[in-house]
Amino acid sequence: MHCLSFETESPVSRVMNSWSPQALVQKSLEARNFAYCPYSKFRVGAAVLTSTGSVFTGCNVENACYSAGLCAERTAISKAVSEGHTTFKAIAIASDLEDRVISPCGGCRQFMREFGSQWDVYLAKSDGSYKLMTVEELLPCSFGPEDLRAKQLD
Ligand SMILES: [Zn+2]
């Protein structure tokens, strides 16, 4: 079943000229189709919107060594960073859960927070409905790059 993804066009990064929360959520829903999750069977997709309007998608990528697996959010953000984008407007996250929104794990909250605490996170259900939160709301009283710089003063 996973082989099908090789026959489908990859959701490559591209500029979203007029974005909307619904459109970003839709991209995260589509990104689920590429999830590599033979162990959990729990598909997750993410789509991150950069400050310049580019969208990068990601999916969870599991591994036989379970702890080496990667979440969809970190996949999407890493794709963006590896192409020079480090400022973000929003990220949408979707799974197959129908009755509740998907919530990012603690590791991903910290990963997002590296790039600021005042940007939007759309937590979606499989039907595309969503809950909007900020990184700050998901990870209050966080530790970030500013804290490391504060240490360098002495
Ligand atoms: Zn995560």
pLDDT at res. 1? 40
Cα of 18 vs centre of ligand 1, distance in Å, is 28
pLDDT at res. 14? 76
Tell me which H or E stretch contains 148: helix 145-151
pLDDT at res. 5? 43
Rounded to 5 degrees, what are φ and ψ at 38? -65, -20
Tell me which H or E stretch contains 48: strand 44-50
8 A C-beta contact, residue 10 and residue 27: no
106: left (phi over 0), alpha (psi -120 to 50) or beta: alpha
Cα of 153 vs centre of ligand 1, distance in Å, is 33
Helix 72-81 and helix 106-113: axis angle, to 10°?
Answer: 20
Cα of 43 vs centre of ligand 1, distance in Å, is 12
Enumerate the active-site residues. 73
pLDDT at res. 3? 40
The answer to whether 37 is annotated as binding is no
Cα of 58 vs centre of ligand 1, distance in Å, is 12
Output helix, strand, coil percentages for the chain, rounded to the nearest 5: 30, 25, 45
Rounded to 5 degrees, what are φ and ψ at 22? -65, -40
Tokens of 132: 């909007």
The answer to whether 136 is annotated as binding is no
The answer to whether 105 is annotated as binding is yes
Tens-digit pLDDT string for the chain (154 aa): 444 444 444 455 578 878 999 999 999 999 999 999 999 999 999 999 999 999 999 999 999 999 999 999 999 999 999 999 999 999 999 999 999 999 999 999 999 999 999 999 999 999 999 999 999 999 999 999 999 998 766 5
8 A C-beta contact, residue 36 and residue 65: no
Distance CA 96, CA 112 (A): 22
The answer to whether 64 is annotated as binding is yes
Ordered by where they begin, the domains of the chain are 4-151 (3.40.140.10)
pLDDT at res. 153? 60
